[in-house]
Amino acid sequence: MLTPSKRKFIEFMMGADVLRFGQFVTKSGRHTPYFVNTGNYKTGLQSSRLGSFYAELIHETVGGEFEAMFGPAYKGIPLVTSCAGALARDYGLDKPFFFNRKEAKDHGEGGSLVGYKPQDGDRVIIIEDVITAGTAIRETMPVLESCAKVHVPDMFISVNRCEVGQTPGKTAVMEVKEEFGIRVHALVTVQDIHEYLQETGLYADLLPMMEAYMKEYCVF
């Protein structure tokens, strides 16, 4: 259901040129008529507002029941940073965060992690952009599992594309829950975006392509 807060977030993404419509290829190799590129957030105000959207969802779902936040390189880095700031500013939850380097540093303190050093038993939530086929989370979990015996109960994303993962009939979100025990919380879903376009009449020429894509790849 398209709520006012979801509508506001969709318009925020479109205004920042993060939610785009046209012809794109996802990380999993699927040709898609819409794409979410959080790398297009580029101002302080955008970062602050984005953090507030994520912080509100986190506060509503898990509150402060976690020890740290992790942002996978590269796009998860500004996401987790803005989210940590918003949680402290808006809700008084001053939680540590950390992220990884794609390549381990061989000088100074070395290592592949930056920021908080996770401890055994920590509950760590992941801050990411989207889930399509689950490729990114399968790359992220070994990074977390190698640094400490952490528990990852929840993951927060901008958009759930609701697409089938590696198992026919199951979305990547379903697979992540079954494979890793991680609950995925999204600010909006592809259904919300589709409903918004229908409601506003925007990109009417792309709606048939979007609907065909959803019919081929999405599971609801």
Instruction: Indicate the pLDDT class of residue 108, thresholds 50, 70 and 90.
Output: very low
Question: Does residue 33 sit within a domain?
Answer: yes
Question: Does residue 64 sit within a domain?
Answer: yes
Task: Please state the domain count of the chain.
Answer: 1
Separation CA 62–CA 58 (nearest Å): 6
CATH number where 201 lies: 3.40.50.2020
Whether residue 141 contacts residue 72, with contact meaning beta carbons closer than 8 Å, is answered with no
pLDDT of 70-89, one tens digit each? Answer: 999 989 999 999 999 999 99
Q: Is the pLDDT of residue 16 over 60?
A: yes
Question: Does residue 107 sit within a domain?
Answer: no
pLDDT of 46-55, one tens digit each? Answer: 999 999 999 9
pLDDT of 119-131, one tens digit each? Answer: 999 999 999 999 8
Question: Does residue 183 sit within a domain?
Answer: yes
Separation CA 72–CA 49 (nearest Å): 20
Q: Is the pLDDT of residue 184 over 70?
A: yes
Question: Does residue 77 sit within a domain?
Answer: yes
Residue 136 is predicted with a pLDDT of 84
Separation CA 159–CA 86 (nearest Å): 19
pLDDT of 130-159, one tens digit each? Answer: 987 788 889 899 999 998 999 999 999 999
Percentage of the residues of the chain whose pLDDT score is greater than 90: 84
- pLDDT mean over 161-183: 93
Question: Does residue 105 sit within a domain?
Answer: no
74 upstream amide cis, omega within 30 of 0: yes
Question: Does residue 104 sit within a domain?
Answer: no
CA angle 42, 1, 203 (to 5 degrees): 55
Q: Is the pLDDT of residue 110 over 60?
A: no
The radius of gyration computed from the CA coordinates of the chain, to the nearest angstrom, equals: 17
**pLDDT higher for 105 or 17?**
17
Question: Does residue 108 sit within a domain?
Answer: no
Whether residue 203 contacts residue 10, with contact meaning beta carbons closer than 8 Å, is answered with no
Q: Which domain holds residue 46?
A: 4-99+113-217
Catalytic residue positions, numbered:
105, 107
What's the token pair of residue 207?
């709606």
